[in-house]
Amino acid sequence: MAVLGTKRAAFLPMALIALALDQLGKLHTATVLDPGDRAPLLGNLLGWTNVPAMGGAFGIFRDWLPAAQLVGFSALALAATVMIGVFYRGLAPGEQGSAAGLGLMLGGIASHTLDRLRYGSGVDFLHLGPPTSNLLPDFSLADVAIVLGVATLIIELLAAEFTARAAERPQR
């Protein structure tokens, strides 16, 4: 069975790449930076940091006890993984773009879950702006993978909608 050009060729590799790059970035910063420290990577544009992320997006579960956070995040990760699996199964075999987006999301979720199981919190290792600035939040490649995955799905959905509408228009 040919795999190239199918959703399978995009889904799992993207998930594994997102997971591996995020974990390698965290390993790198843990070996060169003390917790809370920052170092420039691309001048004042992008830097390394080593910051535990106790809460989730928008501070979800931030004030919960660590054990309750682990249960809450694990439940969310499980629910998201099941939903990704359901959406993946519903894709047509050639829908590589959507499969890649779902794979990125799965890789990011898996990396965040691994962090919480291993360290008791998420780990942010990238910082936008000068090292002394706190204007923007710190983040990880897992965060980037999840956002890019969602953006890919939105773009794929819009492209499919525009194509369907164009096909419905009367020919002149």
Range scoring the smallest mean pLDDT among 49-53, 58-62, 124-128, 153-157: 58-62
7 pLDDT above the threshold of 80: yes
Q: Residues 22, 115, 138, 143: which is the catalytic one?
A: 143
Active site residue 124: yes
The closest of 78, 85, 139, 137 to 110, measured between CA atoms, is 78
Residue 62, token pair as written in the block: 């931030």
How far is the C-alpha of 87 from the C-alpha of 156, rounded, in Å?
13
Give the confidence band of 3 by pLDDT, cuts at 50, 70, 90: low
Of residues 17 and 54, more confidently modeled: 17
Active site residue 37: no
The pLDDT score that the predictor gives to residue 58 is 61
Q: Residues 22, 115, 124, 138: which is the catalytic one?
A: 124
The pLDDT score that the predictor gives to residue 1 is 43
pLDDT tens figures, 75-96 = 999 999 999 999 999 999 989 9
Give the confidence band of 165 by pLDDT, cuts at 50, 70, 90: confident
The pLDDT score that the predictor gives to residue 137 is 87
In order of 7, 100, 145, 165, the CA distances from 152 in angstroms are: 14, 8, 10, 20
The closest of 98, 53, 109 to 76, measured between CA atoms, is 109
Rg (CA), the chain: 19
In order of 12, 49, 75, 112, the CA distances from 105 in angstroms are: 11, 23, 16, 11
Residue type, 42: L
